[in-house]
Amino acid sequence: MTANTSTNVKIDALPSTEDENFKPKNGSDLLIKALKDQNVDTVFGYPGGAVLNVYDAMYKNPIRHILTRHEQGAIHAAEGYARVLNKPGVVIATSGPGATNLVTGITDAMIDSIPLVIFTGQVATSVIGSDAFQEADIIGITTPITKHNYQVHDVRDIPRIVKEAFHIANTGRKGPVLIDFPKNISAEIFDETELNDAPIYLPGYQPNTKPNYLQIQKAIQAISESKKPLVLAGAGVLFADARKELTEFVEKYKLPVINTLLGLGSIHGNHELFFGMAGMHGAVVANDAIQNADLLINIGARFDDRLTGDTKRFAPNATIIHIDIDPAEIGKIIPTDIPIVADAKEALQAILSKEIPAPDTTVWLDYLYQKQNDFPYWYEEDEQEILPQQIIQMVHAITNGDAIVSTDVGQHQMWAAQYYKLNNDHGWITSGGLGTMGFGFPAAIGAQFAKPDKKVVAIVGDAGFQMTNQELAVLKEFNLPVKVVIINNAALGMVRQWQELFYEGRYSQSLMPVQPDFVKLADAFGIKGYRITSLDEAGAILEEALNSDEPAVIDARVKQLENVYPMVASGKALHEMVGVKKP
């Protein structure tokens, strides 16, 4: 198999340059200008009555706008874009149904700390509260699922609010910020001299990024004295762009490192000190390492329950160091011995700046290598059917681990996490906290806009893909070379697995015998579709599809009843994994 890890297709969706004589006149002009002042060059959205003025403004003062086929597609695309570029994704939707269609994506971004700035249209201020046509109380609806939200009440505040929104979304613990924009204000003519463009002043928002000196001192001492240290790297490392520092840190002291699901990519997937993902479907060695470590250094992970299993029996022997930008995460789930509220990069730099006696980790590493060797991920090959894991292994081989991989939610997501060994950071896009089906494909679209030169592969389930597959139109429209690999088991695989394991195989509503012909579906959108039905042909088809410069949909028919292993059942502790070895 040959490696072709980039594409040479240019996505020519950037609008012509700004008309030099263009002068902002109304609130919408001001909004587009404020976006450009934030160096925004791409927005994802969908127009409607309440944002007509905004769309008119962007017609006159062009900015690249990606018209998805559903607002959910727009916001997941913005999430994928934000993940890859580590800067806010921008979304525009109309009032009422446009705004409520964003709710799932906003919640997803909130729980996974993805920076977004979202504009929703709103009915005119004079009728807010009167149940006007397409009025929804989106401020009320999104208050618990945004880092912050605004309703614009004065046209002169637009520059300030937009500036603040970008600042809040992309600093501290990142997250979605929503700006609700009433229609009358979007049309209001303003007086240039009265604009409020004051420097950002948010006395109630001063996220701390610098680690406390004494705590760093304590952490260093604990590392020095430990015999079985373990680094748990989460998405905080990626948000802080600290892959280099993390790698330097673990190499300097020979520390084993494991990832959360969302932290994948924070260290090279084949690094000799990397022992894989921990948690419910994590590697045996990673979970074993947590349970046996005497020091756990958590960098930018929030001890999610899918990671910890039974929290009372989590890392029972370990002193806990927790580095997190969000003070509220420290001590929330796991009692912490050495809390460090800081940006992951700054904390790692502070630790690296000190010279300390290195702990001797040889015995510990030997133990872990042995475990890793004894308990690799496994599956039983099947004479008749393709195993989903085999498809992902092939995708990995063909793309050399260098693609941007976006996944949907379910079994295929876990297999992708297990078998796609990423060698790049910001190349892993998945919905962790919310587990949002329908996320993977549109997120891949956003990723491709973010990095037109990279190979982007969406690994999706047949069910999840059907939640947002209308966005195939966007692939066609921009000739976006995203590759959609459908791990097609004709089932809601993860649900079916739980029913098999915990409900005596009563497959209540989890089989999906009737499905579209995905090849024809692709064809209907003008996209090339491929079908894989046997292992013999799989390699060649995948190679052709993945190496082409065109969009592609690959319907890989896999074994229906395959389960994801190993597994920590809910309520169990990490050392109580089942399915750890090939029977």
Q: Which of 41, 199, 173 is nearest to 115 (CA)?
A: 173
Q: Which of 377, 361, 478 is nearest to 418 (CA)?
A: 377
Indicate whether 243 belongs to the interface with other proteins (CB under 8 A).
Answer: no
Name the minimum Å distance from CB 491 to ligand TPP.
5
Name the minimum Å distance from CB 147 to other proteins.
7
Of the two residues 177 and 250, which places its CB atom closer to other proteins in the complex?
177
The distance of Cα 28 from the centroid of its chain, to the nearest Å, equals 30
Indicate whether 437 belongs to the interface with ligand TPP (CB under 6 A).
Answer: yes
Q: Half-sphere exposure of 228 toward its Cβ, with a 13 Å CA cutoff?
A: 18
Indicate whether 161 belongs to the interface with ligand TPP (CB under 6 A).
Answer: no
Q: Which of 146, 489, 499, 547 binds ligand TPP (CB under 6 A)?
A: 489
Q: Which of 14, 198, 328, 561 binds other proteins (CB under 8 A)?
A: 328
Of the two residues 292 and 468, which places its CB atom closer to ligand TPP in the complex?
468
Of the two residues 351 and 567, which places its CB atom closer to ligand TPP in the complex?
567
Name the minimum Å distance from CB 322 to other proteins.
13
**303: alpha, beta or left, given left = phi > 0 and alpha = psi -120 to 50?**
left
Stretch that binds ligand TPP, among 124-132, 274-282, 459-467, 572-580 (CB under 6 A): 459-467
Stretch that binds ligand TPP, among 33-41, 110-118, 199-207, 493-501 (CB under 6 A): 493-501
CA distance 75 to 68: 9
The angle formed by the CA atoms of residues 396, 400 and 404, to the nearest 5 degrees, is: 75
Q: Compose the 335-354 pattern: x for residues touching other proteins by CB under 8 A, - for all others.
A: x-------------------
Stretch that binds other proteins, among 154-162, 331-339, 342-350, 373-381 (CB under 8 A): 331-339
Indicate whether 199 belongs to the interface with other proteins (CB under 8 A).
Answer: no
Of the two residues 95 and 406, which places its CB atom closer to ligand TPP in the complex?
406
Q: Which of 410, 393, 395, 517 is nearest to 456 (CA)?
A: 395
**331: alpha, beta or left, given left = phi > 0 and alpha = psi -120 to 50?**
left
Q: Compose the 288-327 pattern: x for residues touching other proteins by CB under 8 A, - for all others.
A: --------------------------------------xx
Q: Which two tokens stand for residue 479?
A: 């000739």
Indicate whether 204 belongs to the interface with other proteins (CB under 8 A).
Answer: yes
DSSP 276-298: EE-STT--HHHHHHHHH-SEEEE
Query: What SS3 state is found at 534?
Result: coil
Q: Write the CB contacts of 80 (distance below 8 Å, at least 6 apart in sequence).
A: 89, 406, 429, 442, 443, 444, 445, 446, 447, 450
DSSP 443-458: HHHHHHHH-TTB-EEE
Q: Which of 463, 521, 556, 573 binds ligand TPP (CB under 6 A)?
A: 463
Q: Decide if 485 contacts 42 (C-beta within 8 A).
A: no
Q: Which of 410, 432, 442, 446 binds ligand TPP (CB under 6 A)?
A: 410
Indicate whether 332 belongs to the interface with other proteins (CB under 8 A).
Answer: yes
3-class SS string, 386-431: CCHHHHHHHHHHHHCCCCEEEECCCHHHHHHHHHCCCCCCCCEECC
State the catalytic residue, choosing from 33, 44, 71, 467. 71
CA distance 83 to 259: 17
> Catalytic residue at 38?
no
Of the two residues 13 and 139, which places its CB atom closer to other proteins in the complex?
139
Which residue's CB atom is positioned nearest to ligand TPP?
A: 461
Stretch that binds ligand TPP, among 25-33, 155-163, 405-413, 446-454 (CB under 6 A): 405-413
Reply yes or no: is the peptide bond before residue 566 cis, omega within 30 of 0. Answer: yes
Name the minimum Å distance from CB 329 to other proteins.
9
State the catalytic residue, choosing from 58, 110, 494, 512. 494
Q: Decide if 185 contacts 27 (C-beta within 8 A).
A: yes
CA distance 97 to 95: 6
Question: Under rule CB under 8 A, which residues in 467-506 are in contact with other proteins?
Answer: none
Q: Write the CB contacts of 23 (distance below 8 Å, at least 6 apart in sequence).
A: 29
Indicate whether 62 belongs to the interface with ligand TPP (CB under 6 A).
Answer: no
Q: Which of 412, 426, 455, 483 binds ligand TPP (CB under 6 A)?
A: 412
Name the minimum Å distance from CB 379 to ligand TPP.
14
148: partner contacted, choices other proteins, ligand TPP, none (Cβ within 5-8 A by kind): other proteins
> Catalytic residue at 494?
yes
Stretch that binds other proteins, among 27-35, 140-148, 468-476, 501-509 (CB under 8 A): 140-148
State the catalytic residue, choosing from 147, 183, 454, 483. 183
Stretch that binds ligand TPP, among 296-304, 308-316, 376-384, 460-468 (CB under 6 A): 460-468
Indicate whether 493 belongs to the interface with ligand TPP (CB under 6 A).
Answer: yes
Indicate whether 203 belongs to the interface with other proteins (CB under 8 A).
Answer: yes
Q: Half-sphere exposure of 373 toward its Cβ, with a 13 Å CA cutoff?
A: 7
Give the residues across from 258 on adjacent strands: 232
Indicate whether 336 belongs to the interface with ligand TPP (CB under 6 A).
Answer: no
CA distance 351 to 105: 36
**320: alpha, beta or left, given left = phi > 0 and alpha = psi -120 to 50?**
beta
**233: alpha, beta or left, given left = phi > 0 and alpha = psi -120 to 50?**
beta
Of the two residues 302 and 396, which places its CB atom closer to other proteins in the complex?
302
507: partner contacted, choices other proteins, ligand TPP, none (Cβ within 5-8 A by kind): none
Give the residues across from 404 on adjacent strands: 456
Residue that the structure tokens 């059917």 belong to? 385
Q: What is the DSSP letter of 527?
A: -
State the catalytic residue, choosing from 1, 134, 218, 515. 134
Indicate whether 205 belongs to the interface with other proteins (CB under 8 A).
Answer: yes
Q: Decide if 168 contacts 202 (C-beta within 8 A).
A: yes
Interior/surface letters 470-503, b for 16+ CB within 10 angstroms, e for the rest: bbbbbbeebbbbbbbbbbbbbbbbbbbbbbeeee
> Catalytic residue at 525?
no
Indicate whether 436 belongs to the interface with ligand TPP (CB under 6 A).
Answer: yes
Of the two residues 78 and 494, which places its CB atom closer to ligand TPP in the complex?
494
Binding region for other proteins (CB under 8 A): 139-140, 143-144, 147-149, 151, 168, 202-205, 326-328, 331-332, 335
> Which residues are known catalytic residues?
71, 133-134, 183, 494
Binding region for ligand TPP (CB under 6 A): 408-412, 435-438, 461-464, 487, 489, 491-495
